[in-house]
Structure formats: C-alpha cells, structure tokens
Amino acid sequence: MSRAPERFPEKLVDKFGRTVDYVRISVTDRCDFRCVYCMDEEMEFLPRDRILTLEELELVGTAFAELGVTKIRLTGGEPLVRKDVITLIENLGTIQSLKELVITTNGSQLVKLALPLKNAGVKRINISLDSLNPKKFKELTRTGELKQVLDGIKAAKAANFEKIKINAVILKNRNDDEVKALVDFSADNDLDISFIEEMPLGVIGEHDRAEAYYSSDNIKADLEKHYTLIPTPETTAGPSKYFRVAETGARIGFISPHSHNFCDDCNRVRLTAEGRLLLCLGQEHSVDLRAVLRTYPGDINKLKSAIVDSMDIKPKGHDFDLSVQPLIFRHMSHTGG
C-alpha cells in the first residue's frame, strides 16, 4: 500500500536511528574484465529484460532523492559498458537536491568517456587499479590491459574532475608487493588512493579468499617501512579510515570490512542491476523494487513507499567470516560494489 504524498518522511532513517542518505546503483552486471576476486572466468550475465531500463533507473534515483538521499554512486559490473549510460547520468544530474553524483569504474572506457562524464555532471570518480605491472594486471583482471586503464586515468585527469580516487584490492602473494608503488603512483599523479580488503561475495572457482586475505594492518605495516603515516579525522561520509603520508602529504584510505567493522555508521543502501534493493552489503535482506516498478509503471509514490518501508529491515550489520565460505552467494558485480 502506498502512502499519501504528504506522508513521506524528509529523510530515510532505519530502526537503529541511522540516516540513509547514500545509494549505490548498479547499472549493469556486465563487465569487460573478470577480476579474480569479483567474477568467475565464465560468468553468466542476466538477460536484458531482467535488468532495469534507463528510465526505471532514473525513477529510482529520483525517488531516493525525494526521500533525502543526497549522494548517488553508479557502479556495476562496469557502469561504462552500459549503452547510453551518459544519458542516464545527464538526467540524474538534473536532480537539484543531489549533492553528489559519482561513479566507480575500472577505467577501461575513460579514454572516450571521461569528458562526456564530466560534462554530464559527474564531479568525482573512483578508478580501480590493483597493479602497475602489465603481466600481473592481466592475471588479476584476466581480460584487462593495463595501458588502456593508465590512458583512461590520463584522460580523466585531462577532463579535470574535482577528485579522482584509485581503489586497490590487495591480495596476498599476488599484488601485496605493489602497495608502495601504487601509493607513489597516486601521489605522483595527484590522486587519492584507498585500499580495500577483499570481501567474501560469491564463490569464485579456484580462488581461496582466506588464503588471499591481506589486511589493512598488513598494508599499513608495509607502508610504514617507507613512510610515516599520520591518522587524520577526515571522512568522506564512508567507511574509509584516512591517513596522511608525512613525507608527501598524500592521503591514503583503508576500507576494512574484516578488521574494522564499520556498520554502526552505515548510511547507505545498494540497488542491484535487476532492481533488488539490498539493505546491507554482507546480508541478504532486500526488497524487490523491480516488481514495484513493473507492477506500477511510472508511479513514484509506490516506489517511495517501498523504499521507506525497507528501512525496517535494514540489518544492524555484517560479520564476514572467511572460514565459512560462501557467506553471500551473489558476486560483487551483482551487488554493485
């Protein structure tokens, strides 16, 4: 049942008192890479009719904004392989109350799309980069070419985004020897960097997550052999904990879902490419917004009602345990990382 328009709250608050003002929207489950921690080599992608249309995605974005959400991140899969994604971004960019419209990308399409993205209203982008060694980059992404991504980063810099952040997932014995190189690359190019601990989302062939686990504390200890890291109280309204490198002033973030649980301050929800609203990255509590969209096409009040009601089932938090795999059967590419 949908409520009368005047009965909608100005903001979304869950039953633990946390305000949700940030939504991450996966615009596709498809990707041109097959990163070893994210996807199987042979992935089966969703048929097109199960994916939300661009119009449906725009309506969801508008509904969230009308409920007080001020930040939308587009992700995937690889958001920039979705046809006409720039049109969606342009349309979302016209929502007055949105303070931030941002995107996470693997960088492969940025040579052609960095400028259109900037012109469509995206101010900040995150680019994933796990290795600066072409051979290792290929091993980690299975299908990616390092040069294409480095050229993409150049194109993004030339497009003058307010901020560009590198995201790196570090795996033991695969790229843990590149932590300093990635920090130096980011400093040299005036980019922020965040290191992300691998999360157990989906079963991936031969990949043993417990074996590959490399904690934020390990990464910090590696860096402290070369640099002095000073903790800073800076926040980007997210789970990153930040440090400044005393010698260069560069900023480094650590996203540590295992070693430092960040659920108490959770301010976000996620929409999968097929329209499932996930209330927690590490739990299965969800609401099927596609069913609402397709039962009541174009009815934003029905959508807003479902979103408001979903706050009642947002769980208190997640608890990743690498010894009991798989905890969550969906891959990160479905979740919208």
Q: Residues in the site for ligand SF4, rule: CB under 6 A?
A: 31, 33-35, 38-39, 76-78, 106, 128, 332-333
Helix (H, G, I), strand (E, B) or coil at 312: helix
Least spacing, CB of residue 164 vs ligand SAM, in Å: 12
Tell me the one-letter amino acid at 135.
K
Does residue 65 come out as left (phi exceeding 0), alpha (psi in the -120 to 50 range) or beta?
alpha
Residue 128: φ, ψ to 5°? -85, 135
Q: Which is nearer to ligand SAM, 169 or 219 (CB)?
A: 169
Q: Which is nearer to ligand SAM, 131 or 333 (CB)?
A: 333
Structure tokens at 82: 């979705």
User: Which residues contact ligand SAM (rule: CB under 6 A)?
Assistant: 31, 37-38, 75-76, 78, 104-106, 128, 167, 169, 196, 198-199, 201, 332-333, 337
What are the Cα distances from residue 230, in Å, to 98, 196, 269? 33, 19, 31
Instruction: Scan for tokens 């560069």, then name that residue.
Output: 250
Which option in ligand SF4, ligand SAM, none does residue 51 bind, with CB closer than 5 to 8 A by kind? none
What are the Cα distances from residue 206, in Å, to 33, 131, 176, 227, 333? 17, 21, 19, 35, 18
Residue 298: φ, ψ to 5°? 80, 0
Which option in ligand SAM, ligand SF4, none does residue 201 bind, with CB closer than 5 to 8 A by kind? ligand SAM
Q: Which is nearer to ligand SF4, 38 or 287 (CB)?
A: 38
CA dist 221 and 218 (Å) reads 5
Least spacing, CB of residue 312 vs ligand SAM, in Å: 28
* DSSP one-letter code for 4: P
Q: Which is nearer to ligand SF4, 145 or 299 (CB)?
A: 145
Which option in ligand SF4, ligand SAM, none does residue 2 bind, with CB closer than 5 to 8 A by kind? none
Q: Which is nearer to ligand SF4, 103 or 311 (CB)?
A: 103
Least spacing, CB of residue 30 vs ligand SAM, in Å: 10
